[in-house]
Amino acid sequence: MTSAKVTEAPEEGYERGLGSRQVQMIAIGGAIGVGLFLGAGANIAKAGPSLILMYALAGVIVFFIMRALGELLLYRPVSGSFAEYSREFLGPFFGYFTGWTYWLMWVVTGMAELTAAAIYVNYWFPSIPQWVTALVFLVILFGVNLISVKLFGELEFWFSMVKVTALIGMIVIGLGVLTFGFSSAGDTAAVSNLWAFDGFFPKGIGSSLMTLQGVMFAYLAVELVGVTAGESENPEKTLPKAINTLPWRIALFYVGALTVILCVVKWTEFAPGVSPFVEAFAQIGIPAGAAIVNFVVLTAALSSCNSGMYSTGRMLRNLAESGEAPKAFTKLSSTKTPALGIFVSVLFMGIGVVLNYVVPEKAFGYVTSIATAAGIWTWLMILISHVLYRRAVVAGRLPASSFPAPGGAVCSYIAIAFLLFVTGIIAYDADARVCLYVMAGWAAALAIGWAVLKARNPEVAERRTPEFEKVG
């Protein structure tokens, strides 16, 4: 399969406006979100230094998921990839269910990011209500996404650049404090902080494992690279590169940053609802350091919300092209963006503004648990599709991908078991369990929708042969 042929894949109408530089940064930015910057505070309070191990463990699983997705993407690069692969390997209903569930995931993630952004702005302007800030950001990002995919890619590039530069800066400063002992935290900063206060597992292994649901939320959006496949200039080169750099990104930005922070500031100093990065800089005592970090974490939240608007519009268009959403969503604007899909998604993200008005202190927790459950479903569909694809390749029914996952389907089986374990943890946690009730209601609504769709148009439920002739 040549690069030239790949660009002819059936993504009718999209502009291939995302260059290698932008896809790389979207991939890096997707792995650095509000789950790390804000959610880590609550998880440190629950698990102490052992949270580092939880991020490392989940990071390995996320890499397995991304290599499985990478193999599928290079077998057949399509926009709205997860829904398409579910449709092909598991049947039309699973494509429909996955497409709508991924849409839900990003809508509620957008709500979480808007909530986080409002909390960060509150740091400087406590008199401004959270819901006002959330609404302003929602409108601005909506405008950016309507203009063009190039502007989205460029904004995402710079958002990610800010996050990456800041995280590297934090790690360097933290190492400086540990090595040379400067700053007001220098006297207490030590590697021994990782075990000096009730050990590495201060609340027990069980409590550490309970943080996995929050840790998995932090990794949501790494799969966004798959949605960019239809608008990448050269997917056969850019996608493998973006996926293969994931391990060092996780090692540096998650495991590395948390390790340094927990060495500089003892874990007992962190509390839910406060960014551990902001707290660490406040303890180090660098002038304006906490305010700078607050700006960075605000950038992270806006970056993720920006990505959410991008992906929801594309997913609605993919569903509409398969007859699983209103046909109006197939239309592209003059700038080749799925404007109607983005608009409808933004309206639903506006529920987050309402939540910030009604329950500002609980809004973040509610939406993150629902996003995690929807994300786990998406990841499971990627992994199961990969297992079935590998079977078809071995049987000679389908062509092999140019980017095979190491270990074949074995790593996908391991990742499936891990995700089912995390689902069990969510079911065990009384606070997080509510998201499973929401997902059950969502599944019931989608099942009713599918029955209506089939009654109106029986062809929707028929398996369609993928359009390989356009790919090569």
Question: Which of 61-65, 284-288, 402-406 shows the lowest mean pLDDT across its residues?
Answer: 284-288
Cβ atoms of residues 73 and 81 within 8 Å: yes
Q: Round the CA-based radius of gyration of the chain to a whole number and report it.
A: 22
Residue 72 pLDDT: 92
Residue 109 pLDDT: 82
Q: Which of 401, 422, 463 is nearest to 218 (CA)?
A: 422
Cβ atoms of residues 39 and 30 within 8 Å: no
Given a cut of 60, is residue 162 above it in pLDDT? yes
For residue 177, give both structure tokens: 């404090």
Q: What is the DSSP string of 330-395?
A: G---TTSS-HHHHHHHHHHHHHHHHHHHH-TTTHHHHHHHHHHHHHHHHHHHHHHHHHHHHHHHHT
Q: Residue 30 is inside which H or E element, if any?
A: helix 20-30
Summarised one tens digit per residue, pLDDT across range 65-88 is 999 999 998 888 776 678 889 999
Domains within the chain, CATH numbers bracketed: 16-454 (1.20.1740.10)
Residue 364 pLDDT: 66
128 DSSP 8-state letter: S
**Helices 20-30 and 289-321, axial angle in degrees (round to 10):** 110
* 205 against 366, higher pLDDT: 205
Residue 132 pLDDT: 87
Given a cut of 70, is residue 272 above it in pLDDT? yes
Degrees to nearest 5, angle at CA 436 with 435 and 437: 90
Residue 359 pLDDT: 67
Mean pLDDT, the chain, whole residue set:
83
Residue 5 pLDDT: 38
Sequence-distant (≥ 6) Cβ neighbours of residue 250 within 8 angstroms: 31, 55, 56, 59, 62, 63
Q: Please say whether the dihedral angle defined by the alpha carbons of residues 173, 176, 182 and 185, taken in this order, is positive or negative.
A: positive
CA atoms of 244 and 230, how far apart (whole Å): 19
Given a cut of 80, is residue 166 above it in pLDDT? yes
Residue 360: which pLDDT band, with cuts at 50, 70 and 90? Answer: low
Summarised one tens digit per residue, pLDDT across range 78-118 is 766 788 899 999 999 999 999 999 899 888 888 878 877 88
3-class state of residue 400 by DSSP: coil
Question: Which of 139-143, 150-154, 453-457 shows the lowest mean pLDDT across its residues?
Answer: 150-154
Prediction pTM value: 0.86
Cβ atoms of residues 296 and 166 within 8 Å: yes
Cβ atoms of residues 266 and 285 within 8 Å: no
CA atoms of 66 and 70, how far apart (whole Å): 6
CA atoms of 404 and 401, how far apart (whole Å): 6
How many CA atoms lie within 13 Å of 395's alpha carbon, on the beta-carbon side? 8
| 385-to-207, 295, 465 alpha-carbon distances in Å | 33, 40, 15
Q: What is the DSSP string of 246-272?
A: HHHHIIIIIIIHHHHHHHHS-GGG--T
Sequence-distant (≥ 6) Cβ neighbours of residue 36 within 8 angstroms: 218, 253, 254, 257, 300
CA atoms of 179 and 97, how far apart (whole Å): 52
Residue 12: which pLDDT band, with cuts at 50, 70 and 90? Answer: very low
Residue 392: which pLDDT band, with cuts at 50, 70 and 90? Answer: very high
Residue 259 pLDDT: 93
For residue 413, give both structure tokens: 């089986």
Chain centre distance of CA 163: 15
Residue 446 pLDDT: 95
Q: Which of 451, 469, 448, 447 is nearest to 460 (CA)?
A: 451
For residue 272, give both structure tokens: 């839910």
CA atoms of 125 and 273, how far apart (whole Å): 17
Residue 390 pLDDT: 96
CA atoms of 423 and 45, how far apart (whole Å): 22
Long-range contacts of 332-338 (CB under 8 A, 24+ apart): 332/13, 332/14, 333/146, 335/15, 335/146, 335/147, 335/148, 336/13, 336/14, 336/15, 336/148, 336/149, 337/145, 337/146, 337/147, 337/148, 337/149, 337/313, 338/313, 338/314
Averaged pLDDT, 433-451: 92
Residue 13: which pLDDT band, with cuts at 50, 70 and 90? Answer: low
Q: Which of 200, 225, 232, 313 is nearest to 6 (CA)?
A: 232
The total number of residues shown for the chain amounts to 472
Residue 94 pLDDT: 94
Quick one: 437 exposed, middle or buried, by C-beta within 10 A (0-12, 13-18, 19+)? exposed
Residue 413: which pLDDT band, with cuts at 50, 70 and 90? Answer: very high
For residue 269, give both structure tokens: 């100093």
Q: What are the backbone dihedrals phi and psi of residue 278, each rounded to the nearest 5 degrees, phi first?
A: -65, -45
Quick one: 382 exposed, middle or buried, by C-beta within 10 A (0-12, 13-18, 19+)? buried
